[in-house]
Chain A
Amino acid sequence: MLNLWMRASVFITLVVVILMLGFLVSQSWPYWWQYGIGMLFAGEWYPYERLFGMAPAIIGSFWAAVVALIIAIPTGIAAAVMSTELMSGPWRGLLRGGMELLAGIPSVVYGLLGLWVLLPFLQSSLNLLTGHNLLAAGLLLSVMVLPTIMVMAQDALHEVHINQREAALSLGIDWNTRLWRVLLPQAWPGIRSGILLALGRALGETMAVMLVVGSMDRIPDPWYNLLAPAQTLTSRIGREIGEATFGSIHFAALMACGLLLAVATIAISLLAQEKRGQFTFFPGEAGSRKK
Chain B
Amino acid sequence: MNTKRKTSDMLVATAQPATTTDGVSLQVSGLKLSLGGKNILRDISFSLREHGINILIGPSGAGKSTLLRCLNQLHADWQGEMLIMNHHARQWPGGTDALRHQMGLIAQKPAVFPCSIEKNVTFGLSSRERKHPPAGLIERVLRQAVLWDEVKDRLHESAAILSIGQQQRLCIARALALSPSMLLLDEPTASLDPRSKQLIEASLSQLAETMPLLCVTHDIEQAQRLGGQIIFMCDGRIIEIASADTFFTRPERLEAREFLRWSTCDCS
User: Which A residues form the contact surface with B (CB < 8 A)?
Assistant: 161, 163-164, 166-177, 181-182, 185-186, 291
Contact = CB atoms under 8 A, between A and B. Distances in A.
A174 B113 contact: no
A174 B2 contact: yes
Interface residues of B, number: 27
Contacts of B3: 174-176
Given A166-B107, A167-B171, A172 B114 contact: no
Interface of B: 1-5, 72, 74, 96-101, 104-105, 107, 109, 111, 113-114, 123-124, 127, 171, 174-175, 178
**Which 9 pairs between the two chains have the least Cβ-Cβ distance?**
A172-B100, A171-B124, A167-B111, A163-B111, A170-B105, A175-B3, A172-B97, A172-B101, A174-B5
Contacts of B99: 172
Contacts, number: 61
Contact of B174 (A169, A171, A176): A171
Contacts of A169: 74, 100
Given A176-B3, A186-B114, A171 B107 contact: no
Contacts of A175: 1, 3-4
Contacts of A172: 5, 96-101, 124, 178
B97 A170 contact: no
B178 A161 contact: no
A173 B109 contact: no
Given A164-B113, A174-B5, 11 more contacts: A164-B111, A169-B100, A170-B72, A171-B123, A172-B96, A172-B98, A173-B97, A173-B123, A173-B124, A174-B2, A175-B3
Contacts of B178: 171-172
A185 B100 contact: no
Contacts of A166: 74, 107, 111
A174 B3 CA distance: 5
A181 B5 CA distance: 15
